[in-house]
Amino acid sequence: MKIKIYCKPTDKGVHSFYLVMDNNKFFLFSQAYRKGVEEYSGKDVRIDESMKYSRAHNDSAIIKTMDKIPMYVKYVEREYEIEVFERTKRRSAQYFKKRCA
């Protein structure tokens, strides 16, 4: 299962970020257009690569975007009851074990 994030520029100079999981698309957030962000996440980027600060090359717009991604993905996890991060998967597995025991 590949979980990816991509951004789509709109005609009003705004990036809209989406999470793609199992052919389902979830809206994450919007932000002002930046060329560096477009180049970095304009194509599909895997979720783990979307938060690697070493790939930002000290571009502050990309770093700020990377800071936003985990927060909004956690919101989508709670809202739609999906599991994206490994930590969430482990936590729900532990909860299920306790509940069934």
User: Is the separation of the CB atoms in 84 and 76 below 8 Å?
Assistant: yes
Percent with pLDDT over 90 in the chain? 56
Dump pLDDT digits (tens) for 43-89. 889 998 888 999 888 999 999 999 999 999 999 999 998 888 776 66
Q: What is the mean pLDDT of residues 18-27?
A: 94
Give the pTM.
0.83
Number of domains the chain contains: 1
Sheet order of strands, 14-21 included: 24-32, 14-21, 3-9, 45-46
94 pLDDT tier (thresholds 50, 70, 90): low
Q: Give residue 83's pLDDT.
A: 86
Which domain does 53 fall in, by range?
3-100
Dump pLDDT digits (tens) for 62-75. 999 999 999 999 99
10 pLDDT tier (thresholds 50, 70, 90): confident
Residues 8-31 as b/e (b if ≥16 CB within 10 A, e otherwise) read eeeeeeebebbbebeeeebebeeb
Cβ neighbours around 66 below 10 Å, total? 19
Is residue 96 over pLDDT 80?
no
Q: Give residue 81's pLDDT.
A: 86
